[in-house]
Amino acid sequence: MKTIWKAFLVASLMLVGAFANAQTFCNNVGSFDIDALYYDGENVVVDYTLNLVPNVVASCGCDQKEALVITTAIERNNNKEIVEVLIVNGPYYTAKSAWLEERCYAVTDNVKYVTAPVNQPAIISSQYVIPAEDWVVPDTYLTVTTQKYTVPKCLTRLCGPENVAPVDFTVDPVWAKVPTPAVDPSKHLETTIYFPVNITTSVEDYLENAETLNVLQTLDSPNFEVKAIDIEGWASPEATVAYNQKLSEKRAATMKKLIADKFSFPESVYQTKGNGEYWGGIDNYVNASSDAQLKEWAGKSFNNLDLKEAALKKLPAYKDIFDTVYPRSRFANCKVTYKVITFDADACRALYTQFPDQVSEYEYVALATSSDAVDQAVLADGLKYYPNSQALNDIAGHAAAAAGNYRQAIQYYQKAGDSKEVMNNLGVCYILMGNKAAADNALVGAQGLEEYKVNIKELKKLK
């Protein structure tokens, strides 16, 4: 059947030898060097160079008034689309007739005459984009048929059709880059120091205070701008409410001095406050206890906290509360509000090591991808704190897909929301698995992306 081709054709005769590793045909009278032969989702792209031996017409047993007719086609079983017809003449005579042209142009518009040079190879380069029919599937081949034309009306088959090379149906979908989360302009870090009973000074080495204070070292750098340090002090309930109020204020002041002495934050960012007695630890203890007397005490109403604490001291549970609860009820905590100016991997990693819950989604993305290989430990922690992060799930999904684990990659993308980029990458996973229906369904959500246009074509390769 005659087909209207979308084609770009280059024909040339060159005085060069045949290409190595080419596919020969018809008893080695010629060979094909394939530069491109693939299905792009809509068309078969053909780009080859045909190399004919010197004096090719005579080598096939043709006399001076005969020619070769070489026909290339895309072929599968009984289905065929002609690529081109080459009428190859010897150097001294052009075999041409209306009868021959009628038969050639009946099957394709791509008909060309070539005159082989004397004692030199004939080199013909051709490039075509051929609309593909439904029968063009992975076992389709580029074929060649060689005939002898004898004036005026005779075509004799010499060879073929012979398979030259299979059409490549390899899928090569493209991933979409999920936007990186924005830098949080205002972030918070909270830390706490503890105090021995009745002590408000010299506590830097008490419990984990030294480690707690050291985390602020991360923020004392040009990469961060500290906007506010809000400090609150607390006291355990023993002693009077009035005494404990003053004690809590002193503890807030002590924490401020410890921070100010160690770091160079501006004086203007500090604000301190004493909150008096901290009963939160006792409340938690009561809620977890089965002690009937303690439950009864907790259900009573007292005129003031001093009376409440006095009644608590009379209970058997008081000693355990004093030993286990009170040490964590004597503290000061600070909330640092800061802004990230520039990302610094070392500074961020120090913060991540001490307080992984304080690291932003943006910082987890940057840390996980700060080297050539994805940092899987950082990525796992990032997904722990930001389980629905598009960017983090995209990183995890891409890493899983690169390892060939497409099912795991799909699980990550399914938790990453339904942005166009995520749906595109989900579709890519299904394409690589060969699941055409699922890929088509996912790619619907990627419409509008440039990657979508490519992947829809790649999807069509899944016959």
Domain containing 332 — which CATH number? 3.30.1330.60
In a domain, 442, yes or no: no
Q: Which of 308, 340, 372 is the last residue of a domain?
A: 340
In a domain, 285, yes or no: yes
For 153, 208, 285, the CA distances from 184, given in Å and listed in that order, are: 82, 29, 37
Q: In this structure, are residues 309 and 237 in contact, taking their beta carbons and an 8 Å threshold?
A: yes
Residue matched to tokens 């081709």: 5
136 and 278 share one domain: no
Task: State whether residue 414 is helix, strand or coil.
Answer: helix
- How far is Cα 333 from Cα 99, in angstroms, rounded to an integer? 99
372 CB-near residues (< 8 Å, 6+ apart) = none
Q: Which helix (H) or strand (E) holds 103?
A: helix 98-105
252 and 202 share one domain: yes
pLDDT category at 21 given cuts 50, 70, 90 is low
In a domain, 31, yes or no: yes
92 and 141 share one domain: yes
Mean pLDDT of the chain: 89
The answer, yes or no, to whether residue 7 has pLDDT greater than 60, is: no
238 and 336 share one domain: yes
Range of the domain at 144: 6-166
142 and 198 share one domain: no
Mean local confidence (pLDDT), 232-255: 94
Q: State both tokens at 358.
A: 């304080």
Q: Which of 126, 147, 166 is the last residue of a domain?
A: 166
Task: State whether residue 242 is helix, strand or coil.
Answer: helix
232 and 102 share one domain: no
Residue 406's closest CA among 137, 173, 181, 170?
Answer: 173
- How far is Cα 449 from Cα 7, in angstroms, rounded to an integer? 28
158 and 214 share one domain: no
Residue matched to tokens 């029968």: 135
The answer, yes or no, to whether residue 49 has pLDDT greater than 90, is: yes
pLDDT category at 382 given cuts 50, 70, 90 is very high
Q: Is 395 exposed, middle or buried (0-12, 13-18, 19+ CB in 10 A)?
A: buried
Sign of the torsion formed by the C-alpha atoms of 148, 149, 155 and 160: positive
The answer, yes or no, to whether residue 13 has pLDDT greater than 60, is: no
125 and 254 share one domain: no
Tell if the pTM clears 0.75, that is, is over it.
no
In a domain, 1, yes or no: no
For 49, 51, 131, 231, 326, the CA distances from 242, given in Å and listed in that order, are: 97, 103, 90, 20, 18
pLDDT tens-digit readout, 159-199 = 989 999 999 999 999 999 988 887 766 777 788 888 888 87
DSSP assigned state of 18: P
Residue 86's closest CA among 167, 1, 9, 165?
Answer: 9
Q: How many C-beta atoms lie closer than 10 Å to residue 446's C-beta?
A: 23
Q: Which of 340, 362, 393 is the last residue of a domain?
A: 340
The larger pLDDT score, comparing residue 204 to residue 376, is at 376
122 and 212 share one domain: no
Task: State whether residue 376 is helix, strand or coil.
Answer: helix
207 and 267 share one domain: yes
Residue matched to tokens 């009035």: 242
pLDDT category at 95 given cuts 50, 70, 90 is confident
| Number of domains observed in the structure of the chain | 2
| Percent of the residues in the chain that have a pLDDT greater than 90, as a whole number | 68
Strands 66-76 and 79-89: antiparallel
